[in-house]
Chains A and B, each alone.
Chain A
Amino acid sequence: MTVKKQPAPDRDASHSAADAVVRFINVQKTYDAERLVVRNLNLDIRRGEFLTMLGPSGSGKTTTLMMLAGFEPATHGEILLNGRQINRVPPDKRGIGMVFQNYALFPHMTVAENLAFPLQVRSVGKAEVERRVLDALAMVELSGFGTRRPAQLSGGQQQRVAVARALIFEPEVVLMDEPLGALDKQLREQMQYEIKRLHERLGVTIVYVTHDQSEALTMSDRIAVFNDGVIQQLSTPADLYEQPTSLFVAEFIGENNRLGGKLEHVDSAGKCTVRLDGGQIVSAIAVGNPKPGQAVQLSLRPERVLLNPNRSDTSLSIVEASVDDLIYLGDHIRIRLLVDGQEPFVIKALNDDNGMSARKGDKVAVGWRAENCRALHQSQSDVGHG
């Protein structure tokens, strides 16, 4: 099969393709010749960055990782590592480290033997192997654990060995496939910190797969949100949360309130007015060039919505609402509202000295600034999610 070469669309002018250590160019993958698990993937992974692939299960993120590792062949397109096509290079010749979901530490070998394995298959000298194994153990703070079997370690320790093993042969790129999935919450947060610390210290490129959005937000330089075999959005954590470009991303990352309406008018700066389904006119920022008259969904973060705002502030859009339910959560209170008669709308009120006087059934008003409200139009891939 001849692969037609096409330059990848350059998303970010400040980083040229030369910076990319890994490039996916028009990559497709299907297992059954009927459904594409990965559809036309174009992605540049920059040298030294921590890139997370985030998405629901079945979104194609793990398949993408497996194609990069060499365990699944791409059915179309090119994968480049340092500018060299690696589609047909077997996994052991790619020099990419990998941390697996369940660590995959070899149970019949000690910790030290596990760490020595990648060096031995590369015919590194015995003394050198010994030295680097000790260094690696020290790096993950497991000095003295070399003679133990993996089964004698706790989950967190096994995880650290797995990370050390993937790093010990000094690969340029390390892949991590939901490496913290099996750990409890506290340990997970500690390991997130440790992996992040190692990344900063060693400057290695890490491609991380997870379905846990808070993990992605805390660790990553950039996040690629996958859905239905397509990258929905690729940006920094802050941009992803604050400026989602699609309804799927807005719904998938963090909490989101949506209000349906019709676009009335857009100005040149992107500010727009929207007529809600209930008839009220509000202002928002138009995303992705919607045309007047199109149906849009307004996306609002709960913490950016003001309860009973100052009605004289003309920069606010104010809508009437009624309190549907209150959920007490200690430091804050979640208030479920009916806004514009539409589906549940949640805001968070701090449980501070100012107190929360609202009660079930109260008539209240909610308001927001136009820049905190994004008018997104519903695309096909969003249907069925959220």
Chain B
Amino acid sequence: MGEVSHSAPEGRDLLKRQLGLALRRQKLRALLLVVPLLLFVTATFIYPIGGLLTRSAYAPEFSEGMPRTAAALSEWDRTGLPPESAWEALVLDLQDHNRQGTAGKIAATLNVELPGARSLIIKTARLAPRLTPPYRTSLAAAEDGWKNPVAWAAMKTLANSFTDRFYLAAVDHRIDADGSVVAQPSGRQIYVPLFVRTFAIGGLVTLCCLLLGFPVAYWLSVLPMRYSNLLMIMVLLPFWTSLLVRTTAWIVLLQDRGVINSLLVWTGLIHDEGRLRLIFNSTGTVIAMTHILLPFMILPLYSVMKTVPPTYMRAARSLGANQFTAFVRIYLPQTKAGVAAGCLLVFILSLGYYITPALVGGESGTLISNMIAYHIQKSLNWGLAAALSALLLASVLLLYWAYNRLAQVDGLKLG
């Protein structure tokens, strides 16, 4: 003690330098250990996902492919038909595309915004080299489609590289011809009901997992080691089986002429005509997803229950609480962290579930992730797929944030 206080302050600086030097080696080593994974995650996860998500708000295909048209339409105020300059720009741009044979790409882009516009663009591109100024007259005479302001409005919407139209589409809204945001007619609303269904099925699956998993986790935590190990293997067994095999097994069990229905008919509980629809609808999705996600509920519950010593229950009993009161007031609150973690895990996983609902969901059991896959693979509307994904991601983050806010009060924070 005495020596240290004598050596101040220049001695203290020396100590600080020496400490810094000693710590730097440690930090460097820690960094070296982390770098490979960090690079891997950045290259395979953060970069591609970031790239996809930017597509939800950034779509330069039209403005890059039709630069003259995009520029000319930026001055048009969406009233009536655009001025001659826009007609000229359109014809010149399409002449370029006709030369390069790339009109199909622009046609596809416009077709997403205005169904049926594909043939209009293809035909106009073919005509373009023969058109003469003033283009407003010659083009309108050649193709009736351009007399309709809706076609021009659609192009103006596309002309802006930075756009909110995918997000509007993802919540069943669109920009109509005069530029205002309107809701889709109720018959054409797809995504909001699908989000609602995704959350509802996720909630139902979480509830089922909790109800089925809680007793199992409790049993696991109180059994002697050699039995609990065996039971744990049975809990984990689904993990080691292919997802496809498990889902197919559910199809075999649940289909109209499947094991369950045949058994019910055989025992006389239902009539042959009244076979239950257990699969290719939301019931099938809930059953199969509950089965698959159950371990994600049981494991966090088990890990928390294992740390609750049995003396608490004994103490409660000795203080005069009956078995039920002791369970509800003493045991249950102490498993709250496990319940919360398990529910959060299962719910978040179920929001993004894809293969199972695709296989057993049928019409009423598909989820938002199936729609994202459709737009990525079939309709090629990546912007909309990215917007839907971003909304899903945002809702998961929101959920996590809300959980942590609630958990902070009880000291159950996850991180």
Contact = CB atoms under 8 A, between A and B. Distances in A.
A169 B318 contact: no
B198 to A, nearest CB: 34
Nearest to A162: B315
B317 interface: yes
Contact of A92 (B309, B318, B333, B336): B318
B316 interface: yes
B316 A117 contact: yes
A131 B323 CA distance: 27
Interface stretch (A93-101, A254-262, A337-345): A93-101
Contacts of B323: 90
Contacts of B329: 117
Interface residues of A, number: 25
A106 B320 contact: no
Contacts of A21: none
A74 interface: no
- For A107, A108, A122, A169, the residue with the greatest tally of chain B CB atoms inside 10 Å of its CB is A108
Contacts of B236: none
- For B311, B318, B333, B334, the residue with the greatest tally of chain A CB atoms inside 10 Å of its CB is B318
B320 A169 contact: yes
B315 A104 contact: yes
A290 interface: no
B309 A71 contact: no
A117 B319 contact: yes
A104 B320 contact: no
Given A106-B330, A108-B333, A108-B334, A96 B318 contact: yes
Interface in B311-327: 311-312, 314-323, 325-326
Chief secondary structure at chain B's binding surface: helix
Contact of A91 (B318, B333, B334, B410): B318
A203 to B, nearest CB: 20
A213 interface: no
A69 B316 CA distance: 12
Contacts of A98: 314-315, 318-319
Contact of B317 (A90, A165, A169): A90
B321 A100 contact: no
A121 B319 CA distance: 8
Contacts of A56: none
B314 A100 contact: yes
A66 to B, nearest CB: 9
Contacts of B314: 69, 71, 91, 98, 100, 104
Chief secondary structure at chain A's binding surface: loop
A180 to B, nearest CB: 16
Given A106-B330, A108-B334, A92 B320 contact: yes
A91 B320 CA distance: 7
Nearest to B308: A107
A100 B317 CA distance: 12
A118 interface: yes
Contacts of A71: 314, 317
Interface string A213-248: 000000000000000000000000000000000000
Contact of B320 (A101, A107, A118): A118
Given A108-B333, A108-B334, A102 B320 contact: no
A95 B319 CA distance: 8
Given A107-B334, A108-B333, A91 B317 contact: yes
- For B319, B322, B323, B333, the residue with the greatest tally of chain A CB atoms inside 10 Å of its CB is B319
B334 A165 contact: no
A118 B325 CA distance: 11
A96 B322 CA distance: 14
Interface string A113-129: 00001100110000000
A165 B319 contact: yes
B321 A102 contact: no
B65 to A, nearest CB: 63
Contacts of B318: 69-70, 91-92, 96-98, 166, 175
B321 A106 contact: no
Contacts of B321: 92, 117-118, 121
Contacts of A166: 318-319
Nearest to A66: B314
Contacts of B325: 121
Nearest to B329: A117
A16 B316 CA distance: 34
Contact of B315 (A70, A90, A106, A169): A106
A63 to B, nearest CB: 14
B319 A169 contact: yes
Nearest to B311: A104
A121 B324 CA distance: 11
Contacts of B311: 100-102, 104
A107 B304 CA distance: 14
- For B320, B322, B323, the residue with the greatest tally of chain A CB atoms inside 10 Å of its CB is B320
A175 B315 CA distance: 11
B6 to A, nearest CB: 36
Given A91-B314, A92-B318, A117-B321, 16 more contacts: A91-B318, A92-B319, A92-B321, A92-B322, A102-B309, A106-B316, A106-B330, A107-B334, A108-B333, A117-B329, A121-B320, A121-B321, A122-B320, A166-B318, A169-B319, A169-B320
27 contacts: A69-B314, A71-B314, A90-B323, A91-B314, A91-B318, A92-B319, A92-B322, A95-B320, A97-B318, A98-B315, A101-B311, A102-B311, A104-B309, A104-B311, A106-B334, A108-B336, A108-B410, A117-B316, A117-B321, A117-B329, A121-B325, A122-B320, A165-B319, A166-B318, A166-B319, A169-B319, A175-B318
Q: Which 10 A-B pairs have the closest CB atoms?
A: A104-B315, A118-B319, A98-B318, A91-B317, A104-B311, A121-B321, A108-B333, A121-B320, A92-B317, A92-B320
